[in-house]
Chains A and B, each alone.
Chain A
Amino acid sequence: MSRQTSKPRNNKKNSKIKIKTSRFGELTVKKDTLIHFPEGIYGFEYAKEYILLEHYKEGSPFKWLQAVKEPNLAFVIINPVDFIPDYTMQLTEEDCKFIQLKDSGDFALMTIVTIPGDEPQKLTANFKAPLIVNVSSRIGRQIILEDEKYLIKQPLFFEEIVPAKK
């Protein structure tokens, strides 16, 4: 007499997937940590799933948004509020609906950083078109703000690296 098999384990939520990346090697991440951009990001409409990676250096303001299926595609991102403490934006009703944000829900805000290859010190961030991500549904969208005061290429404040004095 065989015992009834236990109900199938629901592995889906905690299942892990492997991601190939050109910068960070092969990563194994939990599937429920992925962030979904159903429309992609402007100019990269084909890449719809991303994973958020901490920059390894402690205290760094940077994070990485790595595309799951495109090893080469990763954006450097920051939290705009770290740089402009009074950064404000109005979410439209359509945007809230799209990322399934309810009145009391939390959303994460990030902006993409552009770093000129020849002059990395002249980095800018796109405060005009932040990414919003619903923290619980993990659905995101890049929005374009009407506000004229935020720039597509807003310089990030920096100081030159001066070699340590002997």
Chain B
Amino acid sequence: MLILSRRVGESIIIGDNIEITIVDIKGNQIKLGIKAPSEIRVHRYEIYQKIQEENKLAAESSIQPELLDKVVIKKQKK
């Protein structure tokens, strides 16, 4: 793993078009600013993992079509 030291306001660049800036540091929390092309998706890692897991669960659990009929949805009332 490449490890670089940066100060607030400084940046790193990944490839030619991904720019990450240290915006702020407070205690053990760091705020990052990220500039990247639209095809590069940027997410918090743990959320990204959870979404992957949930999709896998959904695909595995997508029951046979006829079982869906046994699920009766009650619409939410305000």
Contacts and interface: CB of A to CB of B under 8 A. Distances in A.
Contacts, number: 114
B68 interface: yes
B28 interface: no
Interface residues of B, number: 34
Category for how many chain A residues contact B: 35 or more
Contacts of A46: none
B54 A76 contact: no
Interface in B49-68: 50-59, 61-65, 67-68
Contacts of A17: none
A30 B32 CA distance: 45
B76 A42 contact: no
Interface of A: 23-24, 38-39, 41-44, 55-57, 60-62, 64, 73-76, 82-85, 93-95, 97-98, 112-117, 120-121, 123, 126, 128-129, 142, 144, 152-153, 156-161
Interface of B: 36-39, 41, 43, 47-48, 50-59, 61-65, 67-76, 78
